[in-house]
Amino acid sequence: MKILLTTTSYQDCPGDHHTLLQTTGAEIVRERGPLSEARMLEISGDFDAFLCGDDEITRAVIDKSLPKLKIIAKYGIGVDKIDVAYATEKEIPVSFCPGVNHTTVAEHVFMLLLALTKNLMEQANATAAGEWKRMTGHEIMGKTIGIIGLGRIGREVAIRANAFGMKCVGYDLYWPEDFAKEHNIERADGVTQLLRASEIVSLHTNLTAETRDMICAETINNMKDGAILINCGRGELTHTGDIAAALKSGKLGGYGADVLDQEPPPANHPLLGAKNCIITPHVGSRTYESVQRQARMATQNLVNLLKGEKALAQVNDVKPPAALIK
């Protein structure tokens, strides 16, 4: 039995997930993901299971992997890089790891926000270069933060925003009434109303056909002049060219993102070196604490499915395969 392991944080972080994976008795083939469709097509065909991150597991990759592939165990939450519908058609269970990284990502949101509002990068870099450059920043206390998507991460952002004395406005198709009341979150009627009301906007919605490029030139025009946008969701939620243009014009006062439409980005990516822009390399959930929780859950999902048992959390309604291990 062979398992393809691609997620780098899983491989690089110590923890008991390594021991649990060894209990499968499988040959573990390690790659440094995320892998493109082309690379997945090169190596697929001989694996019983994928333990994957944000690799492109398309219809073509699934076809190349059959009939041997029985399980796709996602390390993480987002499954937009996996053709879940086709995996379901081929009766391949797709597991995932909800509820393990929301605290870490919410902290990352505020790291980016504070760095932008306090001009951290420019001043720290200037000081390191021997220049004593003193700039005037902004407080976030009293500011309105608009949170698009009030799942686990969005809710943790709201909790921290309250602690900073911010006003919260939220939008979600599935409104968490009790949570919103408890944490004083005003409900926006739609994205446009939220954008118009907020000095800061934080994106925490899933990537779908409807949400792709949801922040673009048209929607940016609805934002306050100089507003700050934080994206720790998916890079494709924003239109890269329009974000770059809005930063250049000053319509956007800052953009902090842990995700891009191309990862890793090419050297000529429009947001690299853009004004008032901080990009981190998709590490919002990459703390030792979060990685160990996430890796343990991803591995337990895999082990359960290999035993013919239910995963702890599964995206699609597919029965486990016949047991491959005891």
The residue count of the chain comes to 326
Q: What phi, psi does 229 have (nearest 5°)?
A: -115, 130
DSSP state of 223: S
DSSP-based three-state secondary structure for 78: coil
Beta bridge partners of 254: 228
Q: What angle do CA 58, 54, 253 make, to 5 degrees?
A: 120
Determine the Cα–Cα distance for residues 195 and 222; give it in Å rounded to an integer: 6
Residues 6+ apart with CB under 8 A from 1: 24, 25, 26, 27, 48, 49, 324, 325
Determine the Cα–Cα distance for residues 255 and 201; give it in Å rounded to an integer: 10
**Residues annotated as part of the active site:** 234, 263, 282
Beta bridge partners of 73: 51, 95
Q: Tally Cβ neighbours within 10 Å of residue 247.
A: 20
Q: What angle do CA 246, 259, 152 make, to 5 degrees?
A: 110
Determine the Cα–Cα distance for residues 136 and 183; give it in Å rounded to an integer: 31
Determine the Cα–Cα distance for residues 173 and 176; give it in Å rounded to an integer: 9
Amino acid identity, position 35: L
Determine the Cα–Cα distance for residues 281 and 270; give it in Å rounded to an integer: 15
Give the Å distances, CA to CA, from 321 to 23, 45, 72, 84, 242: 18, 18, 11, 16, 45
Give the Å distances, CA to CA, from 150 to 154, 182, 200: 4, 14, 15
Tokens of 81: 């890089």
